[in-house]
């Protein structure tokens, strides 16, 4: 068996990998060249064995939530900055919202660099919505292996990484665009409901993920159990310069709320590096906080403020206890043997034992001829899960931890064909993995242009001619080109190529003078109406909420459009082909973007070798097959996937995506 074949067969014998050694000059290959076609082999058994330890069943009690509220309010009171404070559990259930007397009712989103308003830039949003979004962000971005705050989020979603005046010319943040996930219109996000489903998650966020300092994860015994978010300074923005140290009262109050529920020191963001840069966790520290010894709930309510209901999130002003992540009540639980054959798998459940996203065959036989079968769906998810279980994590501590992600599979209509995750993957990746899969499937679909042109928004429609001009092809977005999530991300940056400030914006982005984390381009334009509908519902201006379907493109099937939870514009999703026919896509999210790319691309490749019936897009039609002339003798190409150096635990094999 050759070293390449040993790798392709998806861990039949891991020791073979170590024997293969390195080789090649880079492991960041696009996966678009070489033309090597692996020979199908007999089907190996499904992956077996246990690779992960599930987090302990910890949860916030009523007394815990009261303690968080009291400590947060005590710090805000000491700083003379009354605030709205929200506490959530790990899957996004809002357990309390406290409005301190005198707290601002609204938080202002900054305008664009040129002073204009685009999408939600320049708007005032309810302070309780901002606080909830911050708390959810702290909970969703964190795990037992990494603790990320909203300041961490700010650092990784901007037009350059790290963001600072002195870093002009660097590429955009690794999670550029993730703020437009967990959207209130998402069909994946659970909404408040009567009965046992009331506590299932992941719940939606009123503003997506937040980049405004003041949101932190909460931990018990090393296990993330929720988040706290604070909105009191009247703004809802981001930190454009990580090289200075800010004095942010929302952040001080939020950090105070974590006392007794601190993230373990070794997993905080400032212990985790991306591309050689340490991330930021907070610009304040525990030693600078006021004394919290006398902070009690009894001394807080009603003396400093009171609980307030929030429509759609927190209907009754009573402190609640949180769901224990991993339990049926939380909606994220271990898979049964009948649901998924691989040990350690977790799935989403409805609170009564029913898998919300079970394995199933594609719904699109009328369009594709032979849709993905349930068996093929199972094999793809198994092989992607196995690739993850042997991959070295980027964002987890300690070093050489295994990657933990969520993996989603869709057909060409965007219908889920299965969703599976590792036990402790960050919760944000659940929604994002589905977004990535749908993004790759949509933009590779022959109907993409027609569906965007049928959107009622002229802003959304304007991106089609922009794409066609960029590609110098009047038929662009009609299925001739296989577009991965990474490729879509390349052309969704405010400069193309990414970071080259003398260049114009990509065709799916706003120009830099109108761009911000609140207005990224097509991604934000597609859901602007949804966000407006939802905020009107939250404030009581409307009695109707936005539907559980993002965007207003036409249905691909009754009640189902192809972008039901929005699009995502960072790496980790690739289309699936049967020969030269698009039949679906796979999306992965939860670790470094190169890890996400590799798990999707290589997992699909390995499943294709086993099945002999499907696989990655043919190399000739992948996005990285095109070269764009930039003028002045310069040129660039899109990337399809990028895989990490020496990605596997116990192996020094390199170039794992090259030639596939």
| Strand (E) or helix (H) holding 534 | helix 528-539
CA distance 154 to 140: 14
pLDDT digits (tens, 9 = 90+) for 532-546: 999 999 999 999 999
Closest CA to 395 of 172, 591, 144: 591
| Beta-strand pair 106-108/305-307 | unpaired
Angle at 84 between CA 83 and CA 89, to 5 degrees: 135
* Range in 57-71, 207-221, 298-312, 646-660 with the lowest mean pLDDT: 646-660
Chain position carrying tokens 């939860």: 590
Residue 588, burial from CB neighbour count under 10 angstroms (0-12, 13-18, 19+): buried
| 632 contact partners, CB below 8 Å, separation of at least 6 | none
524 CB contacts (<8 Å, ≥6 apart)?
119, 120, 180, 518
Give the separation between CA 590 and CA 598, rounded to whole angstroms. 12
**Buried/exposed 405-423: b ≥16 CB within 10 Å, e otherwise:** bbbbbbbbbbbbbbbbbbb
Residue 473 has pLDDT above 70, yes or no: yes
What domains does the chain contain, in order, with CATH numbers?
A: 3-54+333-446+567-637 (3.30.450.150), 62-328 (3.30.450.150)
The tens digit of pLDDT for each residue in 45-70 reads 445 568 999 999 999 999 999 999 99
pLDDT tens string 22-42:
322 233 333 333 333 333 333
| Nearest Cα residue to 307 out of 294, 296, 316 | 316
Bridge partner list, 574: 586
- CA dist 630 and 506 (Å) reads 12
Judge whether 8 and 660 are in contact, CB under 8 Å: yes
Contact predicate 226/60, CB 8 Å: yes
Half-sphere exposure of 184 (CA within 13 A, CB side): 24
pLDDT number for residue 3: 33
Q: What's the confidence (pLDDT) of residue 48?
A: 54
Quick check: pTM over 0.75? yes
**What does the alpha-carbon distance between residue 411 and residue 614 come to, in Å, rounded to a whole number?**
13
CB-based burial of residue 487 (10 Å sphere; 0-12 exposed, 13-18 middle, 19+ buried)? Answer: buried
* Statement: residue 343 has pLDDT above 80: yes
Window from 15-24, 158-167, 218-227, 441-450 with minimum mean pLDDT? 15-24
Residue 277 banded pLDDT, cuts 50, 70, 90: very high
């Amino acid at each position: 068996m050759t070293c390449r074949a040993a790798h392709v067969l998806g861990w039949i014998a891991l020791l073979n990998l170590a024997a293969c050694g390195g080789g090649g000059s880079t492991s960041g290959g696009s996966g678009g060249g070489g033309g090597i076609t692996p020979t199908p082999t007999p089907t190996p058994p499904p992956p077996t064995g246990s690779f992960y330890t599930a987090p302990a069943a910890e949860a916030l009690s009523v007394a815990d939530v009261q303690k968080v509220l009291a400590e947060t309010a005590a710090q805000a009171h000491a700083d003379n900055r009354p605030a709205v404070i929200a506490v959530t559990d790990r899957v996004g259930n809002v357990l309390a919202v406290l409005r301190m007397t005198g707290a601002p009712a609204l938080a202002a989103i900054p305008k664009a660099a040129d002073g204009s308003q685009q999408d939600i830039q320049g708007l005032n949003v309810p302070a309780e919505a901002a606080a909830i979004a911050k708390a959810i962000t702290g909970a969703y971005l964190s795990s037992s292996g990494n603790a990320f705050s909203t300041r961490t989020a700010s650092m990784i979603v901007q037009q350059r990484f790290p963001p600072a005046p002195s870093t002009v010319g660097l590429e955009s943040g690794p999670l550029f665009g993730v703020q437009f996930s967990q959207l209130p219109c998402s069909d994946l996000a659970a909404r408040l409901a009567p009965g046992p489903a009331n506590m299932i998650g992941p719940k939606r966020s009123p503003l997506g993920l937040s980049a405004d300092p003041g949101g932190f994860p909460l931990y018990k015994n090393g296990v993330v159990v929720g988040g706290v978010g604070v909105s009191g300074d009247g703004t809802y923005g981001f930190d454009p310069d990580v090289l200075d140290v800010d004095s942010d009262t929302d952040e001080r109050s939020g950090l105070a709320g974590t006392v007794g529920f601190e993230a373990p020191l070794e997993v905080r963001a400032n212990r985790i590096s991306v591309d050689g840069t340490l991330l930021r966790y907070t610009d304040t520290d525990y030693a600078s906080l006021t004394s919290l010894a006398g902070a009690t709930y009894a001394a807080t309510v009603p003396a400093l403020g009171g609980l307030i209901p929030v429509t759609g999130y927190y209907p009754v002003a009573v402190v609640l206890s949180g769901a224990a992540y991993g339990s049926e009540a939380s909606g994220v639980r271990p898979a049964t043997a009948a649901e998924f054959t691989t040990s350690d798998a977790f799935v989403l459940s409805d609170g009564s034992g029913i898998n919300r996203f079970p394995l199933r065959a594609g719904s699109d036989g009328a369009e594709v001829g032979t849709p993905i079968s349930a068996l093929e769906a199972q094999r793809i998810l198994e092989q992607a899960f196995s690739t993850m279980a042997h991959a070295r994590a980027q964002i987890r501590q300690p070093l050489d931890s295994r990657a933990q992600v969520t993996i989603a599979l869709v057909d060409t209509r965007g219908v889920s064909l299965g969703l599976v995750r590792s036990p402790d993957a960050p919760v944000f990746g659940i929604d994002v993995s589905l977004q990535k899969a749908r993004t790759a499937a949509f933009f590779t679909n022959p109907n993409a242009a027609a569906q965007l042109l049928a959107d009622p928004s002229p802003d959304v429609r304007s991106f089609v001619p922009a794409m066609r001009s960029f590609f110098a092809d009047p038929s662009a977005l009609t299925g001739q080109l296989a577009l991965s999530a990474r490729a879509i991300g390349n052309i969704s940056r405010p400069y193309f190529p990414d970071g080259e400030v003398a260049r114009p914006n990509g065709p799916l982005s706003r120009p830099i003078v109108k761009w911000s984390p609140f207005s990224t381009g097509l991604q934000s334009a597609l859901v602007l109406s949804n966000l407006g509908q939802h905020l009107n519902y939250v404030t009581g201006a409307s009695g109707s909420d936005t539907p559980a379907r993002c965007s207003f493109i036409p249905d691909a099937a009754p009640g189902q459009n192809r972008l039901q939870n929005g699009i995502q514009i960072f790496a980790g999703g690739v289309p699936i082909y049967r020969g030269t026919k698009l039949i679906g896509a796979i999306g992965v999210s939860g670790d470094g973007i190169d890890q996400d790319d590799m798990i999707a691309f290589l997992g699909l490749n390995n499943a294709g070798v086993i099945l002999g019936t499907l696989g990655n897009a043919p190399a000739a039609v992948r996005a990285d097959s095109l070269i764009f002339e930039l003028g002045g003798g310069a040129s660039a190409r899109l990337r399809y996937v990028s895989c990490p150096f020496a990605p596997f635990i116990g192996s020094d094999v390199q170039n794992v995506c090259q030639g596939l």
